[in-house]
Structure 1
Amino acid sequence: MISKSANERKNKTGIKEKSKIELIVLLLSILIFSLPFFKGLFFTREILITHIVSFTLSILYLANKTLKREKISFDNGVDYIGLFFIIVYLLPIVFGKWANLRDAIGITLRYVNCFIIYLMVKDYVRDEKCKDWVLNVLIASGVTTAGIGILGAAGYVQLQDVVLSNRMASTFQYPNTLAAFMMTLLFITLGKLYSTDKLWQKIVYAVSGFIMLFVFVFTYSRGAWLLLPIFVLLYMLALAKEKKVQTILYFIVALIPIILLLQPITKNLLEADGNKSQGLLYTFLAIGIFTGPYILIDKMFTRIKETQYKYIYISLTSLMLGVVGLLLLAFNATEPLTFDNYGLTENRTNQIQRVVHTVQPDEEYLLKLNLEAATENERQWPWRVRVMSIGATGEAQMIAEQLGEIEQASEIEIPFQTLAETKKLQIYLTNTYSDTKVTFNAVELINIADESIKNINLHYKYIPESFITRLNNINMQDNSSSARLTFYKDGFSMFKDHMVLGAGGGAWKGLYRQYQSEIYDSTEAHNYFIQTMVEVGSLGIILLFLMIGCIVVTGFKAVKEKDTRNISMTIAILSLLAHSVLDFNFSYLSILILLWVFLGMLPQIDLPHQIKREGFARKIHPLLLVAVVIPIIFFTGFLYIGNASAREAAAYFKSGHSQEGVVAFDRAVKADPFDATYRIDMAQILRNISQQNQNQQLLLEAEEHLKKAIQYAPYNDLILSQAALHYLNVGQFDEALPYADKVIEVAPAVANSYEIKTEIYNAVARYYLENNNKKQALETYSSILEVVNEIRIANNKTQNKKLILTDKTIDQLNVARYHVDEKDREIQDINKIFYFALDTDENGLTDNWKVYNYKDANIITEVADDGIKISNTGAGTGFIYSTNFELKPSTKYKMELKLNSTIDEDFAVIKVISRNGKTTQFAQKLDMGMAAKNAFAYEFETSEEIQSGDQYIRIDHLGNSEKSIDINRLILLESKP
C-alpha cells in the first residue's frame, strides 16, 4: 500500500514537471511570436541571435526530456526529411563543393535551427491544448505584424521601410513576403474561426483575419493577389458544406469595406503626403464596417437549418453579384485627370501609366488628346505624353513623344506607328515642373481607319492609381515577371553543372554572376525550388518534393476526416510554398521556421511497416542531441562575435580610429575565419600597414588572408578584384593579371569586371613604359583591346538589356588603342580620348554616346571599324553627345579631331558644353579649309566659373544636307605654357 506522503511527493514531482513544460512552451511561444519583428530575420546579426536563443532553448528542452527519462522519437517521414535536409546541406561543405563556404555554413545552421524547433513543436503539440496555444500565438504574431504595418504607415510606429513605394511592408521591409505571411496566417485564422462556438472567440478570429486580409491587399503583391483566390477555392473544395458557405460569406463581408475605402486609405495612409491620422481613422472604419455585419450574419447562420441552404446559396449569389457590380462600378467610374503643381517651389513628378493590348504590330495610329494646360514658367513644359512599344519579352521602346507648349490648342493629335515586334502599348501622361497645371479631359486611341480602339481611362474615382498600375502589370511580360523567368533559366544552368550535390547553401548568390543570361543584379533566386536545386542538387529537390508529398497526403486525410483545423494548416503551408515559387520568402529565416513549425503541428505520417522493421523507427537519447547542440551553440556564438567585431571595426574606421579598427577586424577574422569578406578586408588593412612600415611579415600575412578568401569564395568577383589589385600594388604582375582575367570569367555581365581588368592591365603597361620596356607595354595594351571582344561575347548572350560600360573602362580602352595606333608618339597632358569605332553593344552608336533630335531632325549613326558616320535626313538640327567628363576652369585646351573623309559643306559643328556656368565653352563649324589631311586642330580656354566634371562634347549635324560626318577620333589635351 502506497503511503500518503509518497502520493504527495509524486504529485509535487508532477507539478514540477508540468511547470517545466509550461516554461519551455512559453519560451518557445515567445520565440515563434517574435519571428517577424526583427526584420523578418533576413540579416546576419538577427539570424545569429535567433540561432543562439533557439539552440539554448533546445538544451532546456533536451534536459527536461532527460530528467523525465523520455527519448526523442524518429518515427515518421517528416522527421527523416528534416534530418536529411541537414545532411544534404553538409555534403557540399564536406566535399569542398561550395560556392561560398561561409554562406554554406550559414544556411546549414538555419536548417539545424528549423529541425530543432520542429522537434520541440512536434513533441509538445501532441497535447491539443498546446497545439491550440501555438496556433493562437501564430495568429497573434500575424495580427501584431499587420498592426505594426498599419501604425507604421500612419507614423505612430517609427520603423524603416514600413511602407515601400506606397506598398505596405511592415517589419519584413519587403511587401511580397509580408503578403505571403498574411495569406498563410489568414487560412490558420479561418481554421480557428470555424473550430469555435464561442461568439467572443469568433469575433476575435474574424477581426484578426480581416486585419490580415486588409494588410494583404495593401501590400500590392501581384503574385499573392493571383494565388489567394486559387487557394481560397481549394480551401472551399476541401471544407465541409457549411464551412464552404461561411468562407464565401466571410470574404464577401471582408471585401466590401476594403473596396469602398480603397481610395481614401491608399491616399491618406500609404502616400507620403497623405493625412495619416485620417488614413488610420478610415482603417478603423473598415474594421467596424466588417465587424458589425459579420456578427449579424454569423448569428443568422447558426439558426439556419440544412434544409434552408438553398436560400443561402441564392442569397450568396446575390451578394456575390453585388460585389462584382461594385467592382465594375469602381473600375468604370472615371473622371478627367488633373495634375496641379501650382504654388510649389520644387518640381514634383505626377504621372499615370495606361496599357493598351488591342493594337497590331507595324500599323499607324493616332492618339487624340483633349486637355487644358497652364504654366507660369515659359521655359518648362506643362505636360508630356509618351507612347512606348512593349515587345514579347517585355522590352520597351519609345515610339512617340510630345511635350506641351504654352500656346497650344486643347485638341492635340499625336500620330505614331507601332513596331514589327509590338505586342502592347504603354502610354504615360506626365506633369513635372512647378507652377504648371494640366487637365486631361479625354484621351482616345484611333487606328488608320479612323476607328476608336480605346478610350483611355484617366482618373479613377474609387480605385487608387497605385492599384491600377499594379493590375496593369500582372502579366508574364512585365519587367518583374520576365526577370524572374530569367532567374529560373539561369538557375537551371547552375543546377546542370552541380546536379548531384549542388554548390552549397547560398550558391545562387555565389554563382549567378557567372551564369546570368541577362543584365540584372539579384542575390536571390526568387524561387525556393530553384534555390534548393542550386544549393543541394538532385538530393535536395527530391527531399523537397517528398516533404510536399507528406503535406498533401496529410491534407487528403484531413479532408476525409473533415478536420477543419488540419485542412486549414495544409492549405496554409501549400499557399506559402506556392508563393515561394515566385519570391524569396524562405531567405527570411522567420518564414523557414514558420514552415517547420507548421510541419511539426501537422498529424504525423507513420513510416511503412517494412521500413520500421528495418530499424528506421528509432528513439534517440536526448543527451546525444545535447552533445551535438552544445558545440553548435559555441560555434554560433563565435560567428556572432565575428559579426559584432566586424561592425565595430567598421565604426572605428569611419570615425578615424584606425588602430582600434585593426584590432577589431583581427578579432572578427579569428572568431569567424570562414567569412571571405573579413579576410579580404584584413588583407587590405595589413598590406597598407606593411607598405607604410616596410614590414614584410605583415605582407605575407595579408597574402595568406587573401588566399583563404579566394578559397572560401572562389567565384566572388569582388574578392577576385581585390586579389588582382593586391598583387598589382605589391608589383606581382604575373599574379595580378590572371586574377583580372578571372573577374570577367566569373562575372561577364557586370560592367565593373571590365573596368577592373582594363585598369590593372593599363597600370601594368604604364609600369613597363616607365621602365623603358616598350615591347612588353605594347603587348599589354594589345591585350586590353581584346576586352572589346569579351564584352561583345557577353552582350551577344543577352536578348534584351546590354552592358553599359563605365566611362573609366572606355577611357582605358581608348588609351590602349592610342598607344597601339601611335607607337611613336608620346602621350603628354591628354585629358580625354574618344575613339568613335567603339561600339560593343553594336547599336550603331559609339558606346556611352547618345543622340538627340530637335524638331524635324533625324540623326542616323553607323559605326564601322574606323569610326562613326553621322547623317541627318531631316531639316532640323540633331546631334550626338558624350557623357560628362572633367575640364578645369580657366584652363587652355587643345582639340585634335580626325575625320575619315573630307567635308565640303558647312553642316557640322563641334562643341564643348558645360552643364554649369557658361554653357558653350567652345563651338566651331567644321571647315576643310582649316584641316590638314582630314585633321582639325583647335584651341580654347574654359571660363572661370565652371565646376569641373559637368562638361561634355557635342557634335551637331545641322540638317538640310545629304552629306555625313565620318569621325575617327577626338583628343583633348591640356595646353602647357
Structure 2
Amino acid sequence: MSNPVYGKQMKTSSKATANSASTLLWSLSIGLILFLLWSAFQVALFNGQLLQFEAPIYWAVAITTLLFILWVVIYFKQMRLETQQDWLKVAVILLPLTYVLSLINAASEYLANNMILIQCIYAMIFVMTMYLLQNNKINHIIQSSLIGIAYVIVGFGMLNWLGAFNFAGKLVGWFSAGVINGVYNQAIWNDSNGARLASVFQYPNTYAAFLMAFLFISIFSMIRSRRVYTQLLHGFMLVPIILSLLLTLSRTGLVMLPIVFVILLLLLKPAKQILWFIYCAVSAIGTLLVLNPINTAGLELQKQFTGSLAAKSWAILIGASLVVALLSWSIQRFIAPKLEVKLQSWSARKASSVWIPLGSVVLTVVVAVLLLGTGVRNILPDSISTRLENINFQQHSVLERITFYKDATKLFADYPIIGAGGGAWTALYEKYQNNPYVSAQAHNFFMQYLVEVGLIGFLVFMAFILYVFYQYICSYVRRNEEENESHFVYFILSMSFLVLSILDFNMSYVFIGMLVFLGIGGMAAAIEPIPTRRLKMGETTARGFYNTVAGIAAIVLLIVSIRFLQANHYAIEGRELARSSQDFQQIKAPLDKDLSIRSTHSDSLMLLASLYQQGYTQTKDEQFYTAAVQLLQRGLEAEPYNKGIVKQLIGIYEVKGDNDQAYSLQKEYASNYIWDMEWYEQLISRSFDLGYQALGQGDNTKKESYFNSGLAAYQHVVDGVEHLKTLPKGQMQGQPFEVTPTMILNAGKMKYMSNDPSGASAILKTGIANDLTDATNREIARWYLASLQKEGQQDQSVYDKLIAVSPSEAEEIRKIAELNF
C-alpha cells in the first residue's frame, strides 16, 4: 500500500521541482533583460574614473552577482567539466584574476579595484549567457529583447534630437542617473563640429558603434524572420538607425562601417549577401531623402522647441520609415525567395561567399572617392559634409590617436609583464605623453588593456576571445543555415564592438562591455561540446569545485559592492555638506565613514585633508597640520600618480612655511607631469627663491643645488617648446606649453647669480617685450641690460625704451651690474 503512495509523492515532487526550475530560469532571463535596459540609461555605465560614475557601476556589480547566484541555484545539478565548452566557464575566471595580479604594480589602487569589479561583471555575464542561450526559447527572448532595447535607445535619441528634452527626461528620470534637472545630460553633444547625437552614451562615437552593430543585427533579423510584423518592425527601424548614425557626425564610425560589413558578409551565403546590399541601399536612400529636413529641424528645435515643427519632423521620419519598411517587406516577400533559388547552385560552391565581399571592397572605394573627392557629398548637410571632407590621415584626430598608441607603447615598456593595473592609462599618461593633450582614455581598447594587465593578461584575454571566435566559426561552417542563424546575432554584436574599439574607448562603457561578453557567451553557447581528453573531472567533483568557487566569489562580490555603495553614498554626502555647511564635525563624519571602508579613496581623503588644513590655518593647531599631512601621505602611497594629492600636500607645506618640503615634492614629481607648464613655472620660481635665500645665508652649495634644479626645469620647458614645433602640421599640441616671462626672469636671475652674465643675457633677451609698462617685462629688461653691462656691452634700443617708461631704471641697472656673487 505504501509503494504507490511514495511513488505518487516522488512524481509530484519531481514535477514541482521542474516547475520551480522553469520559474527560476525565466526569472533569471527577465532579470537579465531588465538589468540591461536599466544599465543603458545609467550613461551606459561609463567608467569615467570619477565619483559621480561610481554608484551605477557598484549597483551593476551587486545586481549581476544576485543574478549569478540565481544562475548557480538553477544550474547546480548540471555543472560539469567534461567538454571544451564546459571549461570556458573556468577560463573566463582568468580575466579578472589577471587584473588582481596587476595590483602588484597598480598605478592607482582605487582605479585598479574598480576594474577588477568590472571584469567580474563580464565574467559572470559570460557564464550565465553561455548556459541560458543554449535554451531555444530563452535565446529567442533575449535576442528580441536586445533588439528592443536598442530600438528604445534609438527612439530616445531621436526624441532629444527633435527637442523633446523634458519629455525624454521625464520618461527615464525616475530611474536614470543620467538625468540632471529634468534633462538627460549630453544626449546632444556640442563641440566645435556643432550638435552631435549621443543618446544615452553622452559620447557620439560610442553611440555610432552601437548603431552600427544594431543596423547589421536589424538587417539580419529582418531576413531571418518569417513573421510579417517582425519584418515590418525591423524594416521600419532602418531609417532611424542610419539617420542617427549620420547625426553622430562620427568619422570613426563611417570609416569602420565597411570593414565590419565585409567581415560579416564573409559568413553569409551569396543570396543573403545581395539582400544585405539591397536593404542597406534602400534604407540609405530613404535616409538621405529626409536627412536635410530632420537635421535642420533638429538644430532649430534644440534652440527653441515648437510643436508644429516637431510634429512635421516626426511625420517626415515616420513616413520615410514606413515606406522603407513596406519596400523591405515586399523585397523579402517576393524577391528574396526567388533569389535564394536562383543562387542555390552558386552557394554550394567552395569560396562562393568570398566574391561579393571582395566586390564590396571595390564598391566601398568608389563610394569613398565620390564622397571625399567630388561634389556628391554636397547633398548632405553642411555639418556632415564637412566631417566627410576632413577624413584623411593628416587630420588632428588621426594623428592624435597615433600619438596615444605610441605613448601607450612607452608605458607598456615600463610595465611589460603584469601591467600597471586597471586605470593605468588614466593615472600614467601624463608621464609618457608626447605632447600636452588631455585624454583619460587611450582611444584603443586593446592598447589600454595591454598597459593595464601587461603581456600575461593580454595574452590570456586574446587567447580566450580568439578561441571562442575560432570554435564558433568552426561550428558555424559545419552546421546548416538554420542552426547557424540561431546565434549569429551574438557574433555580429561582439565582432562589431571589438573591431570598432580599435579606434575608440567604447569598452570603457561597462554596458558595451556587457554586450560584448553577452555576445561571446552566445557564441560559446553555439559551440559544439567536444569532450576534452586530458582535462576531465568527475561530475561530483566538478560540481563541488565550481559551485564552491562561484559561491565564495559571489558572496565576496556582493559584500564588496554593497560596502562600496555605502562608501560612495558617504563620499557624496560629505561633498554636498562641504558646499552647504560650515560645521567641521558634520562634514567630517561621512568622510570618515567612507575612509573606514576605502581607506585611500582620493576624493574623500583630499576633502578631509582640506578641512584639516583650514583648521590649521585658522587655529595654528599642529594636530590639524599633522592629520592633514598624514592623510595625504597615506593617499600618495596608494595613488602615487594622483596630481591632486601631490598639489594639496605641497599647498599645506606652503601654509606651514616648510618651503624646502614643498620644493622637494614639486621637484620629485615633476617627471610625472612633463607637460604641465604651471608645474614647471612653480618649480623654477621655488628654485630661485630658495637659492636666493641660501645665497643670503652664504650657503653656496645649497644655492648651486637649487639653481641647477631650476635651470634644468627651465631647459626642460625650452626643449619641450622646440619639440612641439616638430609635430605634424595637422596635429594640435593640446594644452598651452610655453616659456613664460616669469620662467625667463627667474632663470635669467639664477644664471646671473651663478656668475654667468653671458648666459643670463641670452635667456633674458628671449623675454624682451614691447610692453614695458608690465612689471615683469620691465624687470626682465632691467636684468637683461644689467647682464650686458656686466660684460661691458649695451643694447641701446631696449635701454632707451625702458628709460622712457621709467627713468629710475638707470640706477637700478647700475646697482645690479655692480653686484658680485
TM-score (norm 1): 0.68
Counterpart mapping for 1:717-728 below 5 A:
717-728=643-654
- Structure 1 counterpart of 2:469, from 548, 551, 568: 551
- Structure 1 counterpart of 2:407, from 474, 490, 504: 490
1:610 aligns with 2:533: yes
Task: State the match for 2:612 in structure 1.
Answer: 686
Q: Which amino acid aligns with 2:188?
A: V
- Structure 1 counterpart of 2:120, from 86, 103, 112: 112
Contact map agreement 1:898 1:935 (CA 8 A) in 2: no
Partners of 2:638 and 2:383 lie apart in 1 by 44
Task: State the match for 2:334 in structure 1.
Answer: 300
Report the 3-state secondary structure (helix = DSSP H, G, I; strand = E; otherwise coil) of the residue aligned with 1:583.
coil
Partners of 1:883 and 1:6 lie apart in 2 by 101
Task: State the match for 1:814 in structure 2.
Answer: 745
Structure 1 residues 806, 770: CA separation in 2 closer, same or farther (over 3 Å shift)?
farther
Partners of 1:147 and 1:884 lie apart in 2 by 60
1:264 aligns with 2:301: no
Counterpart mapping for 1:451-470 below 5 A:
462-470=379-387
Q: CA deviation at 1:249?
A: 1.9
Q: CA deviation at 1:247?
A: 1.2
- Structure 1 counterpart of 2:322, from 266, 288, 300: 288
Counterpart mapping for 1:578-977 below 5 A:
578-602=499-523, 603-604=526-527, 606=529, 609-613=532-536, 618-619=542-543, 620-659=545-584, 660-761=586-687, 764=690, 780=706, 783-795=709-721, 798=724, 799-800=726-727, 810-811=741-742, 813-815=744-746, 817-818=748-749, 821=752, 864-865=762-763, 867-868=765-766, 936-939=803-806
Structure 1 residues 208, 80: CA separation in 2 closer, same or farther (over 3 Å shift)?
farther
Report the 3-state secondary structure (helix = DSSP H, G, I; strand = E; otherwise coil) of the residue aligned with 1:238.
coil
Task: State the match for 1:135 in structure 2.
Answer: 143
Partners of 2:320 and 2:742 lie apart in 1 by 60
Task: State the match for 2:178 in structure 1.
Answer: none
Partners of 1:884 and 1:633 lie apart in 2 by 66
Structure 1 residues 713, 607: CA separation in 2 closer, same or farther (over 3 Å shift)?
farther
Report the 3-state secondary structure (helix = DSSP H, G, I; strand = E; otherwise coil) of the residue aligned with 1:749.
coil
Task: State the match for 1:60 in structure 2.
Answer: 70
Structure 1 residues 886, 106: CA separation in 2 closer, same or farther (over 3 Å shift)?
farther
Q: CA deviation at 1:788?
A: 1.0
Report the 3-state secondary structure (helix = DSSP H, G, I; strand = E; otherwise coil) of the residue aligned with 2:805.
strand
Partners of 2:565 and 2:234 lie apart in 1 by 39
Q: Which amino acid aligns with 1:11?
A: K
Q: CA deviation at 1:129?
A: 0.7
- Structure 2 counterpart of 1:187, from 216, 225, 230: 216
Task: State the match for 2:34 in structure 1.
Answer: 30
- Superposition RMSD on alpha carbons, in Å? 4.2
- Structure 1 counterpart of 2:419, from 489, 499, 502: 502
Q: CA deviation at 1:837?
A: 9.5
1:19 aligns with 2:27: no
1:234 aligns with 2:263: yes
Task: State the match for 1:919 in structure 2.
Answer: none
Task: State the match for 2:186 in structure 1.
Answer: 161
Partners of 2:504 and 2:456 lie apart in 1 by 22
Contact map agreement 1:148 1:170 (CA 8 A) in 2: yes
Partners of 2:439 and 2:773 lie apart in 1 by 29
The CA deviation string for residues 508-553 of structure 1, in whole angstroms up to 9 with x for no partner, is 1111111111221111011111011101111122123211242133
Unpaired segments ≥5 residues, structure 1: 333-354, 357-455, 825-834, 839-862, 871-879, 903-926, 941-967, 972-977
Structure 1 residues 8, 297: CA separation in 2 closer, same or farther (over 3 Å shift)?
same
Bigger relative contact order, structure 1 or 2, given CA contacts below 8 A and separation 6+?
2
Contact map agreement 2:437 2:733 (CA 8 A) in 1: no
Task: State the match for 1:410 in structure 2.
Answer: none
Deviates more, 1:472-481 or 1:279-288: 279-288
- Structure 1 counterpart of 2:392, from 475, 484, 487: 475
Q: Which amino acid aligns with 1:28?
A: L
Report the 3-state secondary structure (helix = DSSP H, G, I; strand = E; otherwise coil) of the residue aligned with 1:166.
strand
Q: Which amino acid aligns with 1:671?
A: I
Q: CA deviation at 1:52?
A: 1.8
Q: Which amino acid aligns with 1:526?
A: H
Partners of 1:521 and 1:86 lie apart in 2 by 28
Report the 3-state secondary structure (helix = DSSP H, G, I; strand = E; otherwise coil) of the residue aligned with 1:936.
helix
Structure 1 residues 239, 893: CA separation in 2 closer, same or farther (over 3 Å shift)?
closer
Contact map agreement 2:436 2:735 (CA 8 A) in 1: no
Partners of 2:274 and 2:115 lie apart in 1 by 43
Report the 3-state secondary structure (helix = DSSP H, G, I; strand = E; otherwise coil) of the residue aligned with 2:422.
coil
Structure 1 residues 168, 929: CA separation in 2 closer, same or farther (over 3 Å shift)?
closer
Structure 1 residues 821, 123: CA separation in 2 closer, same or farther (over 3 Å shift)?
same
Unpaired segments ≥5 residues, structure 2: 47-52, 169-182, 348-355, 789-794, 816-821
Q: CA deviation at 1:466?
A: 1.0
Aligned length: 739
Q: Which amino acid aligns with 2:606?
A: I
Q: Relative to total residues, which structure has the larger strand share, 1 or 2?
A: 1
Task: State the match for 1:530 in structure 2.
Answer: 447
Q: Relative to total residues, which structure has the larger helix share, 1 or 2?
A: 2
Task: State the match for 1:433 in structure 2.
Answer: none
Partners of 2:737 and 2:240 lie apart in 1 by 48
Contact map agreement 1:897 1:937 (CA 8 A) in 2: no
Report the 3-state secondary structure (helix = DSSP H, G, I; strand = E; otherwise coil) of the residue aligned with 1:34.
helix
Q: CA deviation at 1:592?
A: 0.9
Partners of 1:20 and 1:883 lie apart in 2 by 81
Structure 1 residues 938, 733: CA separation in 2 closer, same or farther (over 3 Å shift)?
closer
Structure 1 residues 186, 899: CA separation in 2 closer, same or farther (over 3 Å shift)?
same
Partners of 1:894 and 1:673 lie apart in 2 by 48
Q: Which amino acid aligns with 1:601?
A: G
Partners of 2:779 and 2:100 lie apart in 1 by 63
Q: Which amino acid aligns with 1:35?
A: S
Q: CA deviation at 1:45?
A: 2.3
Structure 1 residues 81, 480: CA separation in 2 closer, same or farther (over 3 Å shift)?
farther
Counterpart mapping for 1:116-515 below 5 A:
116-156=124-164, 157=168, 158-164=183-189, 165-270=194-299, 272-273=302-303, 276-301=310-335, 304=338, 306=340, 308=342, 462-515=379-432
Structure 1 residues 837, 639: CA separation in 2 closer, same or farther (over 3 Å shift)?
farther
Q: CA deviation at 1:491?
A: 0.8
The CA deviation string for residues 149-194 of structure 1, in whole angstroms up to 9 with x for no partner, is 1101112223221122322100100011111112222333333323
Report the 3-state secondary structure (helix = DSSP H, G, I; strand = E; otherwise coil) of the residue aligned with 1:612.
coil
The CA deviation string for residues 719-768 of structure 1, in whole angstroms up to 9 with x for no partner, is 32333333333344443323211221111122232134235445646876
Q: CA deviation at 1:819?
A: 6.7
TM-score (norm 2): 0.80
Q: Which amino acid aligns with 2:490?
A: M
Partners of 2:648 and 2:696 lie apart in 1 by 24
Deviates more, 1:15-24 or 1:530-539: 15-24
Partners of 1:705 and 1:788 lie apart in 2 by 32
Contact map agreement 1:642 1:667 (CA 8 A) in 2: yes
Deviates more, 1:233-242 or 1:149-158: 233-242
Q: CA deviation at 1:708?
A: 1.8
Structure 1 residues 759, 280: CA separation in 2 closer, same or farther (over 3 Å shift)?
farther
Q: Which amino acid aligns with 2:645?
A: I
Partners of 1:219 and 1:48 lie apart in 2 by 29
1:91 aligns with 2:101: yes
The CA deviation string for residues 28-67 of structure 1, in whole angstroms up to 9 with x for no partner, is 111123322110101222211211222223233334445x
Q: Which amino acid aligns with 2:407?
A: D
Structure 1 residues 9, 736: CA separation in 2 closer, same or farther (over 3 Å shift)?
same
From the CA coordinates, give the structure whose radius of gyration is larger: 1
